Amino acid sequence: MQHFLHPEQRYDSLSAMLSSVRLYPARPVNCLGEFFDPRVVVSGADSFCGRWNADDIAQTLLETGCFAHWYKQGYEKIWVELERSDIPNRFEFNVWTQCAQNSELLLQVVVWLEYQELLRLNASYPVFYVEHLRLQSPGKAFRGRAFPGQDYPSSGLLRRVFGILRNWACACGAMMISEIPEYYHTAYLFSEYFCFVDEEMEGLFRAVQRDLGNHDLQEISQAFEQGQIRYCGRPWLWPTEIQAYGLSHDLQARLRIAPNIIDSGHFELVRQCSGQ
């Protein structure tokens, strides 16, 4: 039995706050050779990644304790649906529950199977690309401040869902899992294992942690959304860069080479006073 590498303790508290990781779409790929044969079911309504139907996904969620967690939260009627995609190699499934008279999402996963080129490694790799991941607890109240992008509090299932996605990625023949964090807190949350493919971006990301370490995570992420982060005195907006996680020890080691953290500039959070 394969054992997953679980994030450290900080994942527990952060995953309890994260409800939405909205990412940007990857490019479609027409043929992935042995990694993924497009002749084998490309419709998301038939299977997920050409391998798992809705019953398979439900069984996996049951065996990993996700259903037990949802039942404990008070959700009773829960079902899994596969969504149809007309784009080759793009797959989606949703887990729904009934809240009052409405159907609400508990979990949403959208992935691509594609090749991505890593220029600094001078190679292309088969990738399990996570375009969209949402974990939420509809109808529940926030215990603290909401993070950017949150509609509801998180279910706290990030560790388990990440383990499932990692296992599926390996089964599909992928060598990496990648994603593009839309928010700073998303990048921070995934940084325990994921790193930015671009070394300069990884250095800038770590410099933000160094310079803004006296602010909490929600405050920094919200400041990015409000245009309150400055670098060398100028506004610095959160960029759209790929983070990757190698599924082999060798590739992960190559990805995790420590970047040079910039020391020629400085990040600061500048609040805008109301009325000015």
pLDDT per position as a tens digit, 180-223: 999 999 999 999 889 999 989 999 999 999 999 999 999 999 99
Report the chain's terminal Cα–Cα distance, integer Å: 60
Whether the full predicted model's pTM is greater than 0.85, yes or no, is no
Quick one: pLDDT at residue 190? 93
pLDDT per position as a tens digit, 33-42: 445 443 333 3
Quick one: pLDDT at residue 101? 81
Quick one: pLDDT at residue 186? 95
CA 49, distance to chain mean position in Å, is 17
Q: How far apart are CA 182 and CA 176, in angstroms?
A: 19
Give a yes or no: residue 93 inside a domain. Answer: yes
Quick one: pLDDT at residue 22? 38
Place of tokens 């042995």: 34
| Number of domains forming the structure of the chain | 1
pLDDT tens by residue, the chain, 276 residues: 333 223 333 334 444 444 444 333 333 333 344 454 433 333 445 789 989 999 999 999 999 999 999 999 999 899 999 998 888 889 999 999 998 788 999 999 999 999 988 888 889 999 999 999 999 999 999 998 999 999 999 999 999 999 999 999 999 999 999 999 999 999 999 998 899 999 899 999 999 999 999 999 999 999 999 999 999 999 999 998 999 999 999 999 999 887 777 776 899 999 865 444
Quick one: pLDDT at residue 260? 74
**Does residue 59 contact residue 53 with C-beta atoms inside 8 Å?**
no
Quick one: pLDDT at residue 99? 85
Helix (H) / strand (E) element for 166: namely helix 158-171
Give a yes or no: residue 3 inside a domain. Answer: no
Range of the domain at 133: 10-256
